[in-house]
Structure 1
Amino acid sequence: MSDVRKNRIPVEIYGQQYMIVGTEPAEHIRTVAQLVDQKMREIKGKNATLDTSQLAVLTAVNAVNEYVKMKEQLEELKRNLNQ
C-alpha cells in the first residue's frame, strides 16, 4: 500500500459538483478547479451556442495549448541558462 495520503476535495466546476481526489494540497485542487471554471465561462461567453461537451473539449484544448507554450518557454530558458 502507498503511504501517500490522498485528499478528497469537493469542488464546483461550471455548476456541477465533483469530488477531486489527489495528493496535492486542498488549496491547489481548489485553485485548479476555479481556473477550469473561469476558462469554461470565458469560452462560453465568447460562443453561447456551445453545448457542455463542446465547451469541455475547447477548455481542454485551451489548457493544453497554454501548457505546451509554457513548456516550450521553460525549455528555452533552460537552453539559455546552459549556454
Structure 2
Amino acid sequence: MDKKSIKKYIQYKVRQSWSTYPVPMPRQTIRNIEINLYKEFENLSKEEQEKLLVSNDLIVVLTFKFLDTVSDIT
C-alpha cells in the first residue's frame, strides 16, 4: 500500500469507530482525531506499521500512543 492509501484506511477506521458512539461528535473533532492518529502512525517504525495495519487493534493502539504523547507534554 502506498502512503495515501494507508492514510485513507486510517481515516476510514477512525470514522468508523468514533462515529458509532451514541453522542454525536462534530466532523471537525473527528477530523482532528484522524490527523493526530495518523501522525502517531507515521512515528512508528516500518515493522510496527505493518503489524498494526493487519491487526484489529489499529485505532486502540494509536489512541493509546497519542494519549501517552499528550500526557508527556503536559
What TM-score range do you get, normalising by the shorter chain? 0.3 to 0.5
User: TM-score, with normalisation over the residues of structure 2?
Assistant: 0.46
Greater strand share, structure number: 1
Larger Rg computed on CA atoms: 1
Greater helix share, structure number: 2
Which structure exhibits the higher relative contact order, with contacts defined as CA atoms closer than 8 Å and separated by 6 or more residues? 2
